[in-house]
Structure 1
């Protein structure tokens, strides 16, 4: 089994010196806190860093040497955010450039070139998670055709890599490929399953009120693979009409990231594109789930909760074949103050908790 990784999009590095600095400030201390010989990183490289490294074989060798020297290894990259992921306001900008834009294809291929040079020799493949085409609006049949053409170009580029690199399309609420069903429908018969599959983000899965086992079964039945799982949990609100719950939710309504919210009532899922909108517009007739990645080991106090049960069910449903597993809590710095922890200690505790779930699956 490939090692459990944590995703470095929690760190704001926008250049190579910043990436190297975060290895010393966070990744190495996390490994030491865990007492592990090796620690997996799900590396996030902003587009400018990925481009520079793709054009610089010596730079890639240096990065590999810097990782090796610290007992760190990389089998997966997160190429969903293009850049500016820690700007004061990110919201819908995280979905740009879309898969209709050549910049998205170039960024993805740059990441593939970099990852090929970072992979340990004993792993079957490297994975790159990417956005589900773009935000749902605007999206036209012409956009659909353009995205399919660029996906074909990227797939050809993946085939040309020195190592096997697989793209993992990550469904997200509010996007063109909102659910696993949407992603399977779009990819099946269009994508080469040897190089393109799905990234199952278990926070997104939970927000959609999807059945984890059913989602995995649908992917497999379509001849596709779960290439990567992002181990994450959403906020769960059993009773959104409870004044105490609404007061607690107010603290999570922060300005940087989009927090899509879904309500399940009478078998129907109602949608709001952000938590503030939900607090105003959703009736609260059934439970809510909020796209806010909460630390796995530190679920919020009642009357709020988290969806670690969905994560555990998804892990149990995975096939035995190799799947990359990455803990992705990028929201540490925007958590309400009462929920924040020392980042090194928090990441280490979350990885320990996640490793226990993987072992039980």
Structure 2
């Protein structure tokens, strides 16, 4: 849907779906119910999440034209696809596998090309089309950066050609995430410096490759949206998409807070923790159990704040003494008021509905609709 800063959708990665049949079922039921709750009269944007299997199936036979016709009948449209999770994203241990295959693997490039082929067909004329992806790799993988850069350059060439043929402005948003190959503003800027140094066409890279700014992820780095967005924009990088999302925050010196956050330790997703110490030092843990174990050490006991990678609904603060970082999402919306061309693509991305503690769960459509109201109401 259109809103003051561009186009707004919610990411359908919240719905378990591994193939195209189950993906379409989720869209035609859950997404349409959200539309009826939020914007029954206006054109409704669908933030697609397609696994590699679903993308391949959608490109088979007449599936894509049939989906396009169905959307026209529903007054719905697609402007973006989440291409970060390649495989199954629910009901199994995802953890580090969400970064596989990474951008050293040709399978990641081919999957992303398929997603752009799809979005180039679905996005209406006059609207940009985007796909978001992982930040190259995961630090623990010790990836060969030259392979990542080489594949990004190849994709930029592909997108330039596809944009011309389709008459659409297509761009990739790489999404910095804690423990990713690049995870904060400084690491992202330096990676793009190296990418541009290696690329034969700087302008092509800047046209086709940009940043998927996830408010949760940058808040985890103890960065505020205003400073980081302006720094990225100031270096001439494209803000491809902004994920409106929030992380958990707590003071680990409070025993009740540690006990409360333990309820969010679940086996499906990776819940990176960034612990800030009184001297400003930030300690990074790959998953929540490691951070909890650190409290048995003298150094761990000194941390004054934790931020935990667990996407919390934008409208729902957890019970005290836990808090969230949703102020970062508010700040991103305020920055967009000051910089009208900041970004055209916005997406609500709270994919953790199925693993939220029972006390925070609501019917999924009601949760998503409440998050829309939070965003549109300027809460």
TM-score category (smaller protein): over 0.9
1:301 to 311, 316, 319: 319
Separation (CA, whole Å) in 1 of partners of 2:305 and 2:252: 6
SS of structure 2 residue aligned to 1:181: helix
CA–CA distance in structure 2, aligned partners of residues 342 and 49 of structure 1 = 25
Is the Cα–Cα contact under 8 Å of residues 234 and 291 in structure 1 kept in the other structure?
yes
**What TM-score do the two structures reach when normalised by structure 1?**
0.94
Q: CA deviation at 1:211?
A: 2.6
CA distance in 2, matches of 1:21, 1:54: 17
Aligned with residue 259 of structure 1, among 254, 271, 284: 271
For structure 1, which segment, 99-108 or 152-161, has the greater mean C-alpha deviation from structure 2 after superposition? 152-161
| Counterpart Cα distance in 2 of 1:180 and 1:200 | 10
Partner in structure 2 of residue 243 of structure 1: 255
Aligned ranges 1:161-310 → 2 under 5 Å: 161=162, 162=166, 163-188=168-193, 189=196, 190=199, 192-237=205-250, 239-265=251-277, 266-281=279-294, 282-283=300-301, 285-310=303-328
Contact 1:4 1:355 in 2 (8 A): no
Q: Name the Cα RMSD after superposition.
A: 1.5
Match of 2:152 in 1: 151
Shift of 1:233: 0.2
Aligned residue number for residue 79 of structure 1 = 83
1:248 Cα deviation from its structure 2 partner: 0.7
- 1: distance between equivalents of 2:292 and 2:242? 30
> How far apart in 2 are the matches of 1:47 and 1:346?
27
Say if 1:275 and 1:290, in contact at 8 Å, map to a contact too: yes
Find runs of 4+ consecutive structure 1 residues off by over 4 angstroms. Answer: none
- Asked whether the equivalents of residues 54 and 111 of structure 1 are also in contact (C-alpha less than 8 Å), the reply is no
Query: SS at 2:78's partner residue?
Result: strand
What is the aligned partner in structure 1 of residue 357 from structure 2?
336
Alignment of 1:24-63 (within 5 A): 24-36=28-40, 37-54=42-59, 56=61, 58-63=62-67
Cα distance in 2 between the residues matched to 1:137 and 1:272: 12
Task: Out of 126-135 and 176-185, give the one that drifted further.
Answer: 176-185
Change (3 A) 1:90 1:323: same
What SS is found at the alignment partner of 2:7?
coil
Contact 1:77 1:129 in 2 (8 A): yes
- Residue 198 of structure 1 deviates from its aligned partner by 0.3
Listed one character per residue, the Cα deviations across residues 227-284 of structure 1 (whole Å, up to 9, x for unaligned) are 10000000011x2121211111111011100000111122111111111111111335
Residues 35, 166 of structure 1: CA spacing in aligned structure 2 closer, same or farther, 3 A cutoff?
closer
SS at structure 2 position matched to 1:193: helix
Q: Secondary structure at the match of 2:271?
A: coil
Contact 1:14 1:83 in 2 (8 A): yes
Post-superposition Cα deviations, 1:86-135, rounded to whole Å, max 9, x if no partner, equal 14210000000000000000010000000001102231x11111000111
Counterpart Cα distance in 2 of 1:323 and 1:289: 28
- Which is further off, 47-56 or 101-110? 47-56
Distance, in Å, in 2 between the alignment partners of 1:224 and 1:122 is 21
How far has the Cα of 1:72 moved from its partner?
2.1
Partners of 2:7 and 2:344 within 8 A in 1: no
SS in 2 for 1:85: coil
Deviation, 1:152, is 1.1
Aligned to 2:25: 21
TM-score (ref. length: structure 2): 0.90
